[in-house]
Amino acid sequence: MIRPEDVILDETGSLDNYGHVYRARLTNLNQVVAVKILSGDAAAQSLSELIKSWEKLNHPNVLRILGVSDWQYADPSFIVSEYHAYGEATQFLRENPLMNKSHIVLDIALGMQYLHSRSIIHGGLKTSDVLVTSTGRACVADYGLSTVQSSRSKDAHRYFSPEAWNGVVSRPSDVYAFAMCALELFSSALPWGVLSKKNIYNLVVHEDARPDRPQNSQELGLTDQIWTIIEESWHSEARFRPAFDIIVKSWPDGKEETPGRLTIQRSISLVTRPRIAESRGSPPAYQTTDPSPLSPTNSIASSFLRIRPLPEPPLETSPTTLWASSSTEHTSISVSSPDSPLIPTFARSLSQSESLPHLVPSSAPPSVKSFPNRISIVRKTPSLRSRRPHTISGNLPGRSVNRMSRTFAGMTSRSYMGSISENEGTVVDDFGGRSCKSHTDNPILLANALQAEVKDGQNNHTIDEHLHKVYQLASQSEIFIKKFIAANTIPTLISMLTTRAVSGEGHLLPVMIVLGTLAHDTISANTIYRSGTTATLVELFQSPSDTIAALAAWCLIRVCRTSEIVSAMIKRGLPKQLLKHGVDRPRPLVARYAAWCLGNLIHSDSVAESLLDSGHVHEIAEYLHHCTNPALSFGSTSEDVCAALFLVARMSRSIKLAKALTKAGCVKDIAAHLNSSVDPDVLNWSARSAGCLMRPNSSDMAKVLLDANIARGLARMPNVLPTDRVLPLASFAFAVQRFSCAEWGSGTRKALVEAGVTDSLLAALRTAAYEPYPRVHIELALAISFLGDVGGSAIRKEIMNAGGLTILKNIGAAAGRGSEVSKICNLAVVSISGNILTRNAASARTAFNHVWNGGCPEHHPPCPVRFDEETGHG
């Protein structure tokens, strides 16, 4: 801790335009330093915890923190760090245009790579946080300050990722900000130019837009390779952004650090340099000023100003008591300034344990050589979260390659990027898997190599290595998938599937995984279907191996993407096969994927009614009952429950089918999950299935569901969902819509009000107000419109008094005029506040917007197995 009286500020040496950063001298060490004065709302006590991790950092591309103020005595709080005379990187590059910008940007990546390896998230990276040392290297400053104070930069939002606009900062959001910083440093132009904060928000969050590549990019040093890295780094999906170790490895000349590789131009004066005003108005970590080294002479010391210490604490105040209370405090991470009239400050409350992760001490920075050049395996398909990966034993002949285990990439703010491993050349992902090095990043070349090896047919070991690389690249981006498809990889895989189907599980698994991964759209699905491969997959589904059977069901889900393919598979008896060899068998993994597959096949009323006529409704209800009751299940998990609920929701497409499912006992199990579960995915599918059972003007079904306490289960849902899980609120709103249409009398309305559904609906609206999920906004607005229409003046008044109209108007305005979200929000506003004529018209339009066929969208679960470096296959 540093006492205020130990710091002497240079009153004339402010390093920014805001008086936040100063040159200073530590009296006890007689050392020139930089002092950052924190804002009045800074969480001063958090500094004492952060310094414990900052003191252990040692890397040439990370600003060294020398100490922080003692929170009991300093007012305001401050941070003491190394002083770097060249100041901010943008200023440095403007004054030295011949400098290699690529090296500066690589230094940023190296610094961020090191911070992430120490479990430190920057949370607000921008170019003003990048300083240049006396050796010409860039270093990252202000890391972790987002947990202490809100950003004071007017331009911080220009670097926000889509999730950062929601107040969620993570490793991937740092990667996104790095991409924006890289573009700014190469182009010497502020990201998004003169666009307003509101316009930037709409472009990034709603339109998935990114800045264009500069026309003279080659002249600026922005090569094709670097531009590709930038594009991957600002991907809209956080989980598809590369980790910094991947960026470093992929960067030109980034495979090895070369100390002192930068040469500073002679035009830089080490004695005096005119001060250049900051043109952007954003407070940098420092702004360069007179860079002459300070010395403790009388002439200089006379211009120094001491920091004002706080008065001595009163005797009755116990520091121990203050620290004890800090353990329960919450830190608010704000990533948006509150000066916008439309976009509010997004903040997320994190417990102290979340915002200050446990750090592993290290005496030296990791070697750049130890990091791979690719991203760990992820998937874009939203899926369920897993408790633990499922491992499968078995080795490929002649080598020990990758084990396969289940992946569950849940729809959370957490990103599944790799973390740094102690083992050289590997990345450990959040599921415990490892990705090995690859030097083949070109899908076309890799596809040609795979085809050549398959044609030669002599080396299965090399073929399996190529399959592994294809899977890793395909898991990174849809762009790679399309390139593999264009290179005719699918026919090669189909040929391999046919020949390996008789060779045993170990040889077959890699082919099935890659084939299912590439079946990502209707074109690839049709290619697989028209080759007759679906017949082979159906046969493989009957395999005694749970792994093969589950993989076959997953591949069939991926292939059945058009009504033509689905109809053909139904005619071939696939539903009966799924029931006979999957849902009805005590094989949890197989039964789960059979349920997902069967649910996706039910795309019309005729398919559902054929299952009813065949007596299969009882089997579906029995599967849900077994998954719900642990005493009856065979090790069922929440993923099994979700699959069963999804199947029920897809099956309930008419009042006849809903009553059949109710008679079979589904309602009791659905109500049990709604009223007791805290798993977001289980709640999502429970609400969706309850809504699908409800049909228009079906008061008898409404009575059955209400008697089972479905309404109370729905009312608790917004209160138990984690703040970062917003998508289940769409299913909640959908169920409220269906209940609102049960009857036009007062019975259902009274039950909903008594259960607290109205209050929960308003709470859900507030929670999702500025989340970037248009579908959730639309469903909630329609639910309010429905409820206001049938609920009468009392509910309409309650919605208005609770501020519901204001929230709806703000959501509509943020979405943009003419957008679907804006139209539906305006419709809901009119249905609540309009006169009798406009309300009636709004009600009719609301009913018209509701889709009564089905009600449950298709769902593509993740692959049940994946590559893992320990054994290389399954």
Per-position DSSP letters for 199-264, written without gaps between them: HHHIIIIIS---PPPPTTTTTTT--HHHHHHHHHHT-SSGGGSPPHHHHHHHSTT-SS--TT----
Of 273 and 51, the one with more pLDDT: 51
Percent with pLDDT over 70 in the chain = 72
Mean pLDDT of 627-652: 86
Range in 380-389, 531-540, 806-815 with the lowest mean pLDDT: 380-389
Cα–Cα distance, 862 to 785 (Å, whole number) = 35
> Which are the contacts of 322, defined by CB distance < 8 A and separation ≥ 6?
45, 72
Side-chain-side CA neighbours of residue 446 (13 Å): 22
568 sits in which H/E element: helix 563-571
DSSP 337: -
**Other Cβ atoms within 10 Å of 338 Cβ, number:** 10
- Residue 735 near residue 652 (C-beta atoms within 8 A): no
Sheet strand arrangement including 21-26: 65-68, 78-81, 31-37, 21-26, 7-14, 304-306
CB within 8 Å of 224: residues ≥ 6 apart:
none
Please provide the distance, in angstroms rounded to a whole number, between the alpha carbons at the two ends of the chain: 54
Which is more confidently placed, 678 or 791? 678
Q: What is the pLDDT of residue 72?
A: 63
pLDDT tier, 162 (very low <50, low <70, confident <90, very high otherwise): very high
Q: Is the pLDDT of residue 372 over 50?
A: no
Q: What is the pLDDT of residue 756?
A: 86
pLDDT digits (tens, 9 = 90+) for 176-194: 999 999 999 999 989 998 8
CA-nearest of 123, 190, 131, 193 to 161 is 123
Mind spelling out the 3-state secondary structure of 179-196?
Answer: HHHHHHHHHCCCCCCCCC
Residue 657 — very low, low, confident or very high, per pLDDT cuts 50/70/90? very high
Q: Residue 292 above 60 pLDDT? A: no
Determine the average pLDDT of the residues in 21-50: 76
Query: Looking at the predicted structure, is the pLDDT value of residue 253 above 90?
Result: no
Which of the pair, 615 or 278, is modelled with greater confidence?
615
CA distance 650 to 645: 9
Rounded to whole angstroms, how far apart are CA atoms 624 and 218?
Answer: 59
User: Is this structure's pTM higher than 0.75?
Assistant: no
| DSSP state at residue 583 | I
pLDDT at 396: 31
**666/868 Cα distance (integer angstroms):** 39
Q: Rounded mean pLDDT of 39-52?
A: 68
Q: Is the pLDDT of residue 268 over 70?
A: no
User: Which range among 68-72, 152-156, 290-294, 324-328 has the greatest average pLDDT?
Assistant: 152-156
Which phi and psi angles does 24 have, rounded to 5°? -155, 175
Which pLDDT score is estimated for 40? 66
Q: Which amino acid is at 217?
A: S
The pair of structure tokens assigned to 714 is 């729905």
764, 721 Cβ separation under 8 angstroms: no
pLDDT in tens, 85-139: 888 999 899 888 888 999 999 999 999 999 999 989 998 999 989 999 988 999 9
pLDDT at 477 over 60: yes
Task: Report the range of poorest mean pLDDT among 161-165, 331-335, 651-655.
Answer: 331-335
Is there a contact between 226 and 102 (Cβ–Cβ < 8 Å)? Answer: yes
Sign of CA dihedral 847, 851, 854, 860: negative
Q: 5-14, 135-144, 190-199: which has the minimum mean pLDDT?
A: 5-14
Judge contact between 172 and 352, C-beta under 8 A.
no
Residue with tokens 């079904």: 701
Mean pLDDT of 652-681: 93
- Bridge-based pairing state of the strands 21-26 and 31-37: antiparallel
Pair 867, 513: CB distance under 8 Å: yes
pLDDT band at 71 (very low <50, low <70, confident <90, very high): low
Q: Is the pLDDT of residue 866 over 60?
A: yes
Residue 387: per-residue pLDDT: 34
Range of weakest confidence among 60-64, 260-264, 561-565: 260-264
pLDDT at 790: 61
pLDDT band at residue 844 using 50, 70 and 90 as cut-offs:
confident
Rounded Cα gap, residues 671 and 653, in angstroms: 19
Give pLDDT tens digits for 713-754.
999 999 899 888 899 999 999 999 888 876 545 577 778 778
């760990």: which residue's tokens?
376
* pLDDT at residue number 798: 81
What are the structure tokens assigned to 473, written together? 């690249």
Q: Is residue 442's pLDDT more than 70?
A: yes
Answer whether residue 873 shows pLDDT above 90. no
pLDDT at res. 226: 95
> Average model confidence (pLDDT) for the chain?
75
Domains of the chain, with CATH numbers? Answer: 1-83 (3.30.200.20), 86-254 (1.10.510.10), 440-572 (1.25.10.10)
Query: Highest mean pLDDT range out of 206-210, 549-553, 692-696, 809-813?
Result: 549-553
Q: What is the mean pLDDT of residues 293-309?
A: 38
Tell me how many degrees the CA angle 141-142-143 measures, rounded to the nearest 5: 95
Q: What SS3 string covers 512-564?
A: HHHHHHHCCCHHHHHHHHHCCHHHHHHHHHCCCCHHHHHHHHHHHHHHCCCHH
Q: Is the pLDDT of residue 522 over 70?
A: yes
Contact 530, 522 (CB under 8 A): no
Distance of alpha carbon 542 from the chain centroid: 36
The pLDDT of residue 326: 31
